[in-house]
Amino acid sequence: MARPAKRAEIPEPIAPEAPAEPVAVELLASHDDVVEFTFGPADLANADLAHLRLVRGVVRAVQFTSTRLRGCTLVDVQFDDCEFSGADFHDASLTRVAFRNCRMVGVGYSEAELGHVRFNDCKLDDANFRFARLDHVWADSSSLREADAYEASLVAVRFDVCDLTRVDLAKATIDGLDLRGSTIDELRGAALLRDVRIGADQVVPLAMSVFAETGIRID
Q: Between residues 199 and 162, which one has the greater pLDDT?
A: 162
Evaluate whether residue 169 is within a structural domain: yes
Q: Is residue 133 part of a domain?
A: yes
* Rounded Cα–Cα distance for residues 187 and 210 (Å): 8
Q: Is residue 19 part of a domain?
A: no
Range of the structural domain that residue 61 is part of: 25-214
What pLDDT, on a 0 to 100 scale, did the predictor assign at position 11? Answer: 55
Under a CB-based contact definition with an 8 Å cutoff, are residues 135 and 158 in contact? no
Q: What is the dihedral of CA 45, 46, 52, 54, to 10 degrees?
A: 10
Task: Give SS3 for 25.
Answer: helix
State how many domains the chain has.
1
Which CATH number belongs to the domain containing residue 46 in this structure? 2.160.20.80
Q: Is 70 exceeded by the pLDDT of residue 99?
A: yes
Return the top range by mean pLDDT from 36-40, 70-74, 178-182. Answer: 70-74
Within a domain: 157: yes
For the beta carbon of residue 161, count every other beta carbon within 10 angstroms. Answer: 13
- Would you say residue 13 lies in a domain? no
Radius of gyration of the chain (CA): 18
Please answer whether residues 54 and 27 qualify as being in contact, where contact means their C-beta atoms are separated by less than 8 angstroms: no
CB 98 within 8 A of CB 74: no
Question: Would 8 be classed as within a structural domain?
Answer: no
Note whether residue 4 is domain-resident.
no
Tell me what the mean pLDDT of segment 181-209 comes to.
Answer: 63
Instruction: Name the region of 41 (left: φ>0; alpha: ψ -120 to 50; beta: rest).
Output: beta
Binning pLDDT at 50, 70 and 90, where does residue 70 land? very high
Tell me, yes or no, whether 6 lies in a domain.
no
